[in-house]
Structure formats: structure tokens, C-alpha cells
């Protein structure tokens, strides 16, 4: 039986990534109790691993994703649709769930596919 951390898709991505790069803090925007629901990931990597992180993830993304790297190796990974929402809309999870009821689950499905692509990458 999987542990709770392993079932949550955001944590699965985190555990996958830390196999290849050194990471720091994480923020996983998900719905408590929903293992396959995720809206956004924000994370930090070690100074020496920023380029490696970008090289690992960026080539594997499709048009669904928005991925950005900020100063100090802070990364943002979310759906393009979520990224286009206003700050006020992003803070209102009820609004998101009403207007885009499947967004968190679609993002979870796409994140699972990304994890599989990372795992299949030979040049890590």
C-alpha cells in the first residue's frame, strides 16, 4: 500500500524531481484529500541545479503547461489556463472549481504524464 505522500500527484512529482536535482522549499497547490488534483507547483532548487532542472523539465512539456524560472532558481509549473487567471481568481479556489471544475484533475493527469516522461529520460 502506498503512503499518502506517494499517492498525492504533487508529492510524486517532487519525489521524482529530487532524484535528479537538489531542491529546497516547495509549495503544492492542491485540494486536501484529492490525490490527483493539483493546480500549481512552485519550488526552489539548489543554485548549481537551476540549469539542470530547466533542461530536465522544459523539453518534456506540451502546450498544456506554463513553466517559468525566476531569480534564485525559483520555478513555477502550472497549466497555461491557471497561469492566465488573475491573482484574485487564483486565491478563490471555490471560483476555480465552479468555473473550471476539471482543471485540477486535468492538471493532475498531465502531471502524471510528465512524471512518466521524466522517468523515461535517459539523459538526466
C-alpha cell at 88: 484574485
pLDDT by residue (tens digit) across 91-117?
888 899 899 999 999 999 999 999 999
| Mean pLDDT across the chain | 89
Residue 121's pLDDT band (cuts 50, 70, 90): confident
User: From CA 13, how far away is CA 6, in angstroms rounded?
Assistant: 9
User: From CA 55, how far away is CA 124, in angstroms rounded?
Assistant: 9
Which pLDDT belongs to residue 5?
47
pLDDT higher for 31 or 1?
31
Q: Which residue has the cell 493527469?
A: 109
* CA dist 91 → 29, 59, 86, 96 (Å): 11, 30, 9, 9
Which pLDDT belongs to residue 117?
95
Average pLDDT over residues 12-32: 89
How many of the other CB atoms lie within 10 Å of CB of 115?
Answer: 17
Amino acid at each position: 500500500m502506498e503512503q499518502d505522500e506517494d499517492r498525492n500527484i504533487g508529492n510524486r512529482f517532487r519525489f521524482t524531481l529530487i532524484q535528479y536535482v537538489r531542491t529546497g522549499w516547495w509549495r503544492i497547490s492542491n485540494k486536501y484529500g484529492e490525490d490527483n488534483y493539483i493546480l500549481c507547483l512552485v519550488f526552489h532548487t539548489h543554485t548549481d541545479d537551476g540549469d539542470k532542472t530547466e533542461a530536465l523539465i522544459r523539453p518534456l512539456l506540451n502546450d498544456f503547461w506554463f513553466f517559468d524560472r525566476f531569480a534564485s532558481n525559483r520555478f513555477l509549473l502550472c497549466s497555461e489556463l491557471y497561469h492566465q487567471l488573475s491573482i484574485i481568481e487564483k486565491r478563490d479556489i471555490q471560483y476555480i472549481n465552479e468555473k473550471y471544475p476539471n482543471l485540477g484533475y486535468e492538471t493532475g493527469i498531465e502531471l502524471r504524464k510528465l512524471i512518466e516522461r521524466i522517468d523515461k529520460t535517459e539523459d538526466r
